[in-house]
Every structure is written in structure tokens, then in C-alpha cells.
Amino acid sequence: MPEIALFQAAHGRTGDKGNRSNISVIAYDDRLWETLVQQVTEERVATYFKSRNPSNVKRYLLPNLHAMNFVIDDVLDGGVNSSLNLDSHGKALSFDLLQMTITVEQPLLPYCKGLEKL
């Protein structure tokens, strides 16, 4: 199966509350939903952000929207009021997560974005 970046199958947004980040992942097409559910798991996201030392990662599925939301605890260096990070709100975390790779079955590739040049 071809390996692609998550941003080719979904888009994302990030929010923050204190030292907690939430990242939504929304499938571009409903046919990609099951692939995302199987591969973009709490465990993979926790491993992906291990350099930020998350204390917990929780995934909430929103199947009617073909979306999922990850709540990731303790990844913002204390949050906007105490962090010295340039991105203290963690807004770039969704783009970071969208760099993660997934595998997609060949028949689903037409529903992905940015593969025309491959």
C-alpha cells in the first residue's frame, strides 16, 4: 500500500486550554474515514509527540463528521501564560501531526490531495 502524509488525506485545526492542546483531524472524503480511524490512533499520536512528553492522549471520534479530535495533555510547556515558546498556543501542532504518514489502499488514492505529481 502507498504511504502518504496525513495532510494528503485530511486537514486539521488546533486549539488550546491551559497546558492542553486539542487537534482535530477531518477526512477530505468520507471514504478515507476508516483508514484514518485505524491508523491515527491515540498510541500513534502519543508516540509522534513523544518529544513534547504528553502525559495523556485521548481520541474522540465524530463519525458523522468523518472527524476525530485529540486532546493532548501537558504539551504546551505550561500554556500560553507561562510558556516561553514562540508558538505558546500550539497552533502549529496540527500541521506537525499532519506530517505523520499513513498507508492508503490504492483504490482510495483518488480521494487524497496533492498526489497528482507522484
Amino acid at 117: K
**112 is a domain residue:** no
The domain tally of the chain equals: 1
Distance, in Å, from the CA atom of 77 to the CA atom of 54, rounded to the nearest integer, reads 10
Residue 89 CB contacts under 8 Å (≥ 6 apart), including other chains: 14, 16, 76, 80
pTM of the model: 0.87
Residue 114 lies in a domain: no
Q: For residues 15 and 54, give the distance between their C-alpha atoms in angstroms, rounded to a whole number.
A: 16
- Residue 77 has a pLDDT of 57
Question: Is 90's pLDDT higher than 70?
Answer: no
pLDDT tens readout for residues 21-59: 889 999 999 999 999 999 999 999 999 999 888 899 999
Of 2 and 15, the structure prediction assigns the larger pLDDT to 2
Q: Is residue 43 part of a domain?
A: yes
- All cell numbers assigned to 54: 504528553
Full residue range of the structural domain in which residue 47 is found: 3-102
Q: Comparing C-alpha atoms, which of 22, 103, 6, 5 is closest to residue 59?
A: 22
pLDDT attached to residue 85: 55
On whether residue 110 sits in a domain, the answer given is: no
Q: The domain that contains 26 carries what CATH number?
A: 3.30.70
What is the average pLDDT score of the chain?
Answer: 86
